[in-house]
Amino acid sequence: MPESPDYVIYQEPPRRPLTARNLGDFALCPQKFLLSFFVSRQAAERFLGGSAVLHQGVRTALIECYRQGGPLGIPVERLLELFEQYWEGRLCADSLEEEQLHRQGREMLRRYHAAHEAETARAVALDLRMEADLGKHRFVAMVDRALREDGEPLTLLRYKTTRQVPGPGGLAKDPSLALLLLVGETHFGETAQAAIYALRRERRVVAAIGEAERQAWQEQFIQQAAAVRRAHDYPTVVGRHCSVCRCRSICPAWRPSPPREETGE
């Protein structure tokens, strides 16, 4: 009888470019890093949570809004239609959470549209996947929107729907934004700045990553990637993080014990 796909033991991950999330998974639990390459979409969806559902709906609506001309080019009603198109409320915990987050998403988009109807920034790219070599290792990062404004360097922007928004110094400690900056500068071939747009607070925050911080981050990423590529063993680290791990359904530590065979005596 063939083994169930849920119980396959994977020996090594694919040789793909590494993301900041990959590096974080490896540091937290090497087994999670390994299994994250094989977990199904359906299994991952069970651990998304309402905040991720909200972020996905709002982010996708804004990206599509800019593909259609931005707040200057389409009315707010069209932006809200896009949100409805991409909203996946079925993934919320219950109907109350779905209703609350749906309302919050629409309100954030209304405010964003009103604040950006006269925006003059020039879009360079939308929802762009970028790859770059740092040292001997290849990395990948996603930017929601790359834009140019007079008197400023290229801005690599990500949208955030979270309630807590770090300041410039706090963002400088975010490995995901640091990798975005390094990969983005290599991809575009110019100095850039990494930033978030906090939709709940209606403000843009630029990460305070200077030249010294860039160098430190690059060295850290190269060291982490080297450790990942050298790995031949991927131990499971059990902890509180397991309760929300997207890989739990195929993790060896959480398999049900096989039934014991009864022996007649």
pLDDT of residue 5: 46
Distance CA 208, CA 218 (A): 15
| CB-facing half-sphere around the CA of 192: CA atoms within 13 A | 26
Lowest pLDDT segment from 9-13, 35-39, 77-81, 205-209? 9-13
pLDDT of residue 48: 66
Which residue in 203, 216, 158 sits closest to 184, CA to CA? 158
Mean pLDDT score, 77-103 = 95
Residue 21, pLDDT above cutoff 90: yes
* Predicted model pTM: 0.87
